């Protein structure tokens, strides 16, 4: 997997700046900046007078190329006041990470109170998925972060480094092509996390058939890749009931018999994004030894057209026992989630349940690529998640649920249809899923279709997979579900 850039924490030594060969990064309100300004005979003063600097905001940066009286190839001056919050400090780090190359980087954080957040933002942004490139690949040099209290900063940065690794794990999964990340390969990568202390169990098709998961199995019956459910357990919180995370893991979505248009279909390798996020969160919990009980379940399946494929008009019976008329085989994610959600509740009796899925194009029409859609039957859990997402800078917006939308799912021949038509498409999808949530289970549905993979760079990731949700869910677990001292 792609590993985050190495960051070494050392004590501040301003005398080392002049002879450092590589890129030197100094903050806008620091002794290091004043040292650079003297060495370069006022070049920093001239930079501050530039219109571009004056119009910038916290987290932005400008560069001095080949500065006088220094061995560095560039000095990057980052606009970061001492009183900056975590968001600005992480954005500053991301600015450093975005401009990194193969040269080593020296970040002089000094006594800035947000030094660990700078390192975190840098680590998140210095990412490239290049597993399948045979030519020149972008490489990142090592990073040395100077701080007045390096041991303290390193300790604060350690759990953030674990989280960055988990985000990279999710990004790698979502970026992988479907001929590499088959259901078998996906399951194997998750099973390998047993080395981190997770309990991992793989349910194969005969067991899924025995359990009655015909909604899930129907999605994959036209594919050569076997359908699987992977169960990952992290038990760091004693005997308490776990939080359940459920992920849609459609490794490729052709639409099935209701086949998608050719344009853009190549991006349907990301339709396992929900499962990717669940996997990343479980990895983060294991890496940082979280004091919480969490179970992650992902339904792994491929939706392909074939002589055996599910047809529009078919009726399938879910594990719950409800029958579903399949109007559109491209509305398959809700069929996957329905059975896995019910299984999770039956087996684990969770204290709460959160499902994630790249579920509907309708959520992109409503929210664009800035926010995931949030649907919930429980204000307390929902508000806690929204607060966690805001704290981590991951956009999320609550959407409505209501009995009136259920009428759109009424079927003439079965208990329900799997689609309710074009109006309110993301809401009717959530209403469908709510039918598989027990009344006593606090539940959130996250429609991440607009945020899982982007066609342009974002603050913390290059274009492609973002890893959205790993940080927000990890924060939610830390804030709401971990035991004291976790």
- List the catalytic residues: 260, 334
- As a whole number of angstroms, the distance between CA 275 and CA 183 comes to 11
**H helices within 7-149, ranges in order?**
31-39, 43-49, 51-54, 86-98, 115-125
Structure tokens at 483: 């035991």
Structure tokens at 160: 């953030």
Structure tokens at 24: 């030197």
Q: Backbone phi, then psi, for 144, in 5-degree steps?
A: -110, 125
Structure tokens at 445: 């549905």
Residue labelled with tokens 């994630």: 356
- As a whole number of angstroms, the distance between CA 369 and CA 286 comes to 30
Q: Backbone phi, then psi, for 98, in 5-degree steps?
A: -65, -35
- As a whole number of angstroms, the distance between CA 309 and CA 296 comes to 28
DSSP assignment letter at 261: P
Alpha carbon of residue 454 to chain centroid: 12
Q: Backbone phi, then psi, for 11, in 5-degree steps?
A: -70, 150
- 3-class state of residue 129 by DSSP: coil
Q: Backbone phi, then psi, for 478, in 5-degree steps?
A: -60, -45
Burial class (CB in 10 A: 0-12, 13-18, 19+), 320: buried
């Amino acid at each position: 997997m792609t590993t985050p850039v190495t960051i070494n924490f050392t004590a501040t030594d301003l005398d080392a700046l002049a002879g450092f060969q590589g890129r030197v990064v100094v903050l806008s309100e620091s002794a290091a900046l004043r040292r650079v300004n003297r060495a370069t005979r006022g070049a920093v003063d001239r930079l501050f007078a530039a219109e571009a600097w004056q119009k910038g905001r916290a987290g932005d940066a400008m560069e001095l190329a080949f500065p006088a009286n220094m061995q560095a190839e560039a000095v990057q001056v980052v606009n970061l006041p001492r009183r900056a919050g975590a968001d600005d400090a992480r954005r500053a780090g991301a600015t450093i990470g975005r401009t990194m190359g193969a040269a080593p980087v020296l970040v002089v954080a000094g006594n800035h109170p947000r030094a660990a957040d700078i390192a975190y933002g840098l680590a998140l942004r210095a990412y490239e998925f290049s597993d399948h490139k045979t030519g020149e690949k972008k490489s990142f040099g090592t990073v040395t972060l100077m701080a007045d209290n390096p041991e303290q900063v390193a300790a604060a940065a350690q759990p953030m480094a674990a989280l960055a690794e988990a985000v990279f794990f999710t990004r790698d999964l979502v970026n992988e092509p479907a001929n590499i990340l088959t259901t078998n390969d996906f399951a194997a990568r998750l099973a390998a996390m047993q080395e981190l202390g997770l309990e991992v169990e793989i349910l194969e098709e005969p067991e899924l058939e025995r359990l009655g998961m015909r909604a899930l199995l129907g999605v994959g019956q036209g594919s050569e890749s076997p359908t699987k459910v992977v169960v990952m357990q992290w038990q760091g919180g004693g005997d308490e009931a776990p939080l359940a995370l459920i992920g849609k893991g459609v490794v490729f979505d052709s639409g099935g018999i209701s086949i998608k248009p050719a344009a853009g279909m190549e991006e349907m390798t990301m339709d396992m994004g929900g499962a990717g996020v669940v996997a990343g969160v479980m990895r983060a919990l294991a890496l940082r030894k979280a004091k919480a009980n969490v179970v992650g379940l992902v339904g792994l399946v491929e939706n392909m057209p074939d002589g055996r494929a599910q047809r529009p008009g078919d009726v399938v019976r879910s594990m719950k026992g409800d029958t579903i008329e399949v109007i559109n085989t491209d509305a398959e994610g809700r069929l996957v989630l329905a059975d896995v959600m019910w299984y999770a509740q039956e087996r684990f009796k969770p204290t709460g349940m959160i499902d994630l899925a790249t579920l509907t194009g309708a959520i992109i029409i409503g929210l664009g690529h800035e926010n995931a859609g949030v649907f919930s039957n429980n204000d307390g859990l929902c508000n806690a998640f929204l607060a966690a997402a805001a704290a981590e800078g991951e956009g999320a917006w609550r959407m409505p649920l209501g009995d009136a939308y259920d009428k759109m799912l009424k079927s003439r021949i079965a208990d329900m249809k799997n689609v309710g038509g074009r109006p309110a498409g993301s809401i009717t999808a959530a209403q469908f899923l709510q039918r598989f949530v027990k009344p006593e289970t606090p539940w959130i549905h996250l429609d991440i279709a607009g945020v899982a993979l982007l066609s342009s760079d974002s603050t913390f990731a290059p274009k492609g997979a973002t890893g959205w949700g790993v940080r927000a869910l990890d924060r939610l677990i830390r804030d709401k579900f971990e035991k004291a001292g976790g």
